[in-house]
Amino acid sequence: MVRIGIIIGSTRPGRNGEAVARWVYEHARKRTDAEFELVDLKDFNLPVYDEPVPPSYGKNYQHEHTRRWSAKIDSFDGFIFVTPEYNHATSGALKNAIDYLYLEWNNKAAGLVGYGSLGGARAIENLRAILSEVQIAHVRQQVSFSLFTDFEDFKVFKPNEEVHLPALNVMLDQLIAWSAALKRVRQEAAAAGS
């Protein structure tokens, strides 16, 4: 069975991302074809990237916070990135967290969930480019929540489930299929290398 990490991509006090990620998690965990876990960037307290060697050189990490983050990400076969939209892009915290690692992301799959004034659409497109560079295959279906229609007073998350639940289910179908396929790719590559 594949393991999927649902990454809360904001660390801002008063953030909306935690409610969005919990909604995704509550619906996803009803499935029997994958395991899901919430991953909160706040729990890792990653400073601005501070490793002396680029992560593409291997897992020679100097700092405990990097080793903790590496172990967590390494444990998953796929991801759901829940991203806010800040200034037409994903959050700096999420970009920084992705930049910390390289091999741990390779040949895994991702689904994208955004929220913002335009449903986080620009942040999702920004994130697609970033994920491609670390060799994460992102699925086509995405889920987008508008601050105007899915939040009360821009703060209380009240999604229209008739609209968003079908999109979430399609995204999960795609993500689980891709995660399983890429898990086999990683296993075959590991067997060939040993």
Threshold 0.85, pTM exceeds:
yes
Gap between the Cα atoms of 3 and 15, Å rounded:
26
Distances (CA, A) of 118 to 24, 85, 121, 145, 146: 19, 9, 6, 8, 6
How much is the pLDDT for 135?
97
Domains of the chain: 2-193 (3.40.50.360)
Q: Does residue 171 contact residue 139 with C-beta atoms inside 8 Å?
A: yes
Q: Does residue 44 contact residue 188 with C-beta atoms inside 8 Å?
A: no
**Tens-binned pLDDT, residue by residue, of the chain (194 aa):** 999 999 999 999 999 999 999 999 999 999 999 999 999 999 999 999 999 999 999 899 999 999 999 999 999 999 999 999 999 999 999 999 999 999 999 999 999 999 999 999 999 999 999 999 999 999 999 999 999 999 999 999 999 999 999 999 999 999 999 999 999 999 999 999 86
Nearest-5° Cα angle at 120, 162 to 137: 90
Helices marked H in the chain — which ranges?
17-28, 64-74, 92-99, 121-133, 161-193
How much is the pLDDT for 193?
80
Q: Does residue 110 contact residue 131 with C-beta atoms inside 8 Å?
A: yes
Rounded to the nearest 10 degrees, the angle between the axes of helix 121-133 and helix 92-99 is: 10
Q: Does residue 9 contact residue 130 with C-beta atoms inside 8 Å?
A: no
Q: What is the Cβ-side half-sphere exposure of residue 144, based on CA atoms within 13 angstroms?
A: 16
